[in-house]
A and B are shown apart, each in its own frame.
Chain A
Amino acid sequence: MGRQTITRYADLGFVLFIVLCLVLSVLSLRYHRRAIEQETINTQTKLAELHTRAAVEQLAQTISTVDLLMRSLLESGYAERSSDGWKATLKAALINSPQLRSLSLLDDSGRVVISSNDDDLGLKPATAGYLPDVAPHSDLLRVGPPYHGRDLADGQEILDWSDVQPDIGFVPLIRSLSMGEGPRLSLIAVLNVDFFLNRLALRDAVPMEFDIVRYDGRILFSTAEAVHTAGRIASNREIAAGWAAGNESGVVPSVLDDDSALITHRVDTRLPIGVIAHVDLDAAITAAKSESRRQQATLLPIIAIALIAVLIAYLMFRRIGERQFRTQQIELARVGQLLDTLPAAVLLFDAEGRLVLSNRTWSETSLGDAVGAMRAKAGMTIEDFAAYLSHDDARPDGPVRAVLNGQSPAFDGEFATQSSLGARYFQLIVRPFAFDAFNGVTVMLLDVTRRRDAEQESELLRAAVNAAPSGIVITDTDAHIEWANPAFSELTGFAFDEAYGRKPAELVRSGLQGPDFYKRLWEAIRSGRVWRGELINKRKDESLYHESLTIAPVSDERGVIHHFVAIKEDISERKRLEARLIELARTDPLTGLANRRAFTESLASELDRMRRHDHPLSVLMLDVDFFKRVNDQHGHAAGDRVLKIVAELMRNKVRTTDALGRVGGEEFAIAMVETGGDAALELAERIRAAVADTRIDIGGQTIGVTISAGVAVAHKGDTVDGVLSRADTALYAAKNAGRNRVMRADDPA
């Protein structure tokens, strides 16, 4: 899911949230308003009921007090009281009785005979229409009809409340007392309705009008200031009828008005008087409504402000979030660019283990190729990635997850994968990666296939070098030994530990090579050339040996030499064999003298010397006389023995500087340096004589041999063949002259 989509969903969700808040606010406000209204109605109704009850109780209590007063007045003053006494008593009774306007005594005929109010005297008030409707002289308190006026004197019965609204009124109460046969006395009390109206006026917590109604439904007085409607009068009568039927109190909806008006009523338990309260809840409901409107007026802006604040906060958070996201994207892009330059493949997984970033190297690695399909799939996971790697059948997803979850601080390991190009090896470097709010894990993949190959190769080389018979030494540019193979130790007797850090010169130099030798060596290798040569070195045990040495300088790409590799081979044996072969090639095996080729070479070099130094050189040719005869008569072994003895005699007669050689079967030659012809003849004669005098023992018998010799003196223009040829000619001349003699060749003209 893209960032845009998430943002869109978040926006939509937030809008829904705001709308939901608004709807809930409106609903709760509406509910609250209705609750307030209902609560107000309930409270007002309850209050109205309480007021009604209290009004009835006050009314009943007051009238009961009046009843008690009247009864006690009648009983106490029944017979004996004088007229003046009665009046004073009645007046006194009015003190502290503000509920009464006047008290009057009626005689048997119903005429006022004594009164607290003089104006009432002589009046004969109507006594009909009182409740309870019992005999006029019953001793029950009877309640009269309502009157308009201050007192009996000016009172007029109110017959129709829809017609008149008295500005002052009263209700007469009559109580009679008959004692035995005596005349009946009655007291008429004029009840001050204002007394009640004053008190009812205080009950203004609820807008209500009290109608004080007699049991027969007649209104006695009312707090209403307007004239009563016919409907209200009828309603009162209906309720009063209900009283008679047993519904002595209750709350009924007003039939007159809308539903905001109701009636609470209650009739006293003993007196025929009740209270019908017409409650107008309009004002209360209006007040409740205005209260709820006021609350709404307060709450709605608060809600609006709160929602706006929430909206602003949301937008700010969104903006900050987007900015952070952008910054993160930019940073990630930068990191990505940076990562692209790395030779290692880098993967970045988020906290859920999904790939969020990979670098170019990843795309280009063979593993990247293998996971190519996966890469195309959005949201490659650690497991997807790990499926392509293994190490001894273990997959790296576990360790990577462990790093991601913080269970391990880091992970390094080597894993292999099979690609079309064969097995590839990767080093995995796994590290936690925290970046702002981002928490994830980086996986770095280094393709170590080549390194592994190189290592293997290197291993092989090392084995080969270690197994090589030649000593191999690696030194730095100052010839300090850094490495040497076992063959070196074998060759020199120095263990690697002894040799390490030291110079070969300190170890094996024999001193048999001169400084020039080494100077040339260093010149060669310092200039980057490979130096090859042979030299004689010294072992640890001081013995000398021949060494074939190759030193190759190793330089870096700039041509700076950083190491030298020396390959040392012990060539002592070869040297020895070489010397022996050379000797074999130049020597006559029978006599140990130089053979013809060696002799001619010596002669050639002596000829050169003679020419350079201009001193004489003579050549002597000798041949054993009748040697064939010896061979034939005594066998080849005897012949060989003769030749050996003759060679030995000759060797004893010549100087070490003279060259002696066997140049034919029984033919010998001597090159005598710095020797002239005479001296040569003399030497030849001494040799001939020595041979001739020698007896040779052959298988039990002795024989004697002789030799013939020819002498030639070399001159500057001579060649080897030339001088030998002349000597040979002289020899043959000696042979021809009878053998056992010496002849001198003629010097060339």
Chain B
Amino acid sequence: MIRTSPSLAVLAFCLMATSGADTAQAEESEGSRFDRIIAGKLLKVCIWPDYYGISYRNPKSGLLDGIDIDMANALGTDIGVRVEFVDSSFSRLADDVLGGRCDVAMFAIGVTPGRQKVLRFTSPHLVSDIYAITTRSNRRIRDWEDIDKPGIRIAVAKGTLHEPVMREKLQQASLIVLDTPHAREQEVESGRADAFMTDYPYSRRMLDSADWARLITPDTAYHLTPYAYALAPGDDRWFERLQDFVSAVKADGRLATSAERHGLSTIVQIR
């Protein structure tokens, strides 16, 4: 893979040469991020280290683990550079990517219209519905339809794709938007909120780690969100290179293998 990267670079260069004038102008002024990565032999990847199964820093060992950690390392290998992980979160995502703290954000970022306005996404490699986590002893919420009832308080983390979705979906229940993902767990466990909304990978983590957690799944598809890698808009060469990478890992089975290893086979997007 490393051996093929110069030819890919040539290809990217040709593509760039024939692309639109405005992007070409932007790249001309700054040069492609890809070139800088190659030149610096370093790929900086933004992750959210609390994202279980995606990009999770095991608190016991300090080591990172997850499907997107695997993918980031695979990307580094493919283009022949070292990978450096940069801690980020959904709320800081745009700032970190656009601010250049990392070359790409690889932590299963839900492709939402709001984010698409500021960020560029590769083809999705995962797709997740929305799930609710409540407590075992919660007697108010037993099924999905119990969520949107008067007096029910639903927590979401600020900056997550769930915030806008739930704001739109909830009619009778009240929505609590919290600064951190951790805070919504606290609110639910303490009983100040009845449930919080999350995605498939995070719900796995809750069930695996919290005894009190109970998963409420939608009866039918509630709101499917594709997950992809985010990068700064523009920079077609870098984007294409990432797209190539995504296609490659889908095609050669690396994505499927990693998904299976992290219990995400049900939401992986191979096509």
Contact = CB atoms under 8 A, between A and B. Distances in A.
A297 interface: no
Interface string B129-158: 000000111111000000000000100000
A150 B211 contact: no
Interface stretch (B60-68, B183-191, B220-228): B183-191
A401 interface: no
A21 B32 CA distance: 90
Contacts, number: 56
B230 to A, nearest CB: 30
A475 interface: no
A164 to B, nearest CB: 12
Contact of B191 (A96, A168, A200): A168
B191 A195 contact: yes
Interface in A135-154: 150-151
Interface in A185-229: 192-195, 197-202, 223, 225
Interface in A94-122: 94-102, 117
Given A95-B186, A98-B186, A101-B191, A167 B211 contact: no
B192 interface: yes
Contacts of B135: 194, 198
A170 interface: yes
Contacts of B140: 167-168
B212 interface: yes
A167 B139 contact: yes
Contacts of B138: 168, 194
A101 B192 contact: yes
Indicate the size class of the contact surface on chain A. 20 to 34
Given A98-B186, A167-B140, A201-B137, A192 B212 contact: no
B220 to A, nearest CB: 26
A198 B211 contact: yes
Contacts of B189: 98, 192, 194-195, 198
Given A96-B186, A198-B212, A199-B212, A150 B192 contact: yes
Interface in A652-670: none
Given A198-B211, A199-B211, A199-B212, A94 B190 contact: yes
A208 to B, nearest CB: 15
B190 A225 contact: no
Main secondary structure on B side of the interface with A: loop
B212 A97 contact: no
A98 B137 contact: no
B135, B138, B153, B192, most chain A CB atoms within 10 A: B192
Contacts of A100: 190
Contacts of A199: 211-212
Contacts of B192: 101-102, 117, 150-151
B190 A101 contact: yes
Main secondary structure on A side of the interface with B: mixed
A198 B186 contact: no
Contact of A98 (B136, B139, B190): B190
A197 B191 CA distance: 11
Nearest to B212: A198
A500 B210 CA distance: 128
B117 to A, nearest CB: 33
Contact of B137 (A96, A117, A151, A198): A198
Nearest to B153: A150
Contacts of A151: 192
A194 B195 CA distance: 13
B180 to A, nearest CB: 10
B191 A192 contact: yes
Contacts of B137: 194, 197-198, 200-201, 223
A344 B157 CA distance: 120
A21 B124 CA distance: 72
A119 B17 CA distance: 62
A200 B212 CA distance: 10
A102 B138 CA distance: 18
B191 A170 contact: yes
A202 B211 CA distance: 8
A303 B211 CA distance: 46
Contacts of B186: 94-96, 98
B139, B186, B191, most chain A CB atoms within 10 A: B191
23 contacts: A94-B186, A100-B190, A101-B192, A102-B192, A117-B192, A150-B153, A150-B191, A151-B192, A168-B140, A170-B191, A192-B189, A193-B191, A195-B189, A195-B191, A195-B212, A197-B137, A198-B136, A198-B189, A198-B211, A199-B212, A201-B136, A223-B137, A225-B139
8 smallest beta-carbon distances between A and B, as pairs: A197-B137, A198-B212, A98-B189, A167-B139, A192-B191, A98-B190, A201-B136, A194-B191
Interface of B: 135-140, 153, 186, 189-192, 211-212
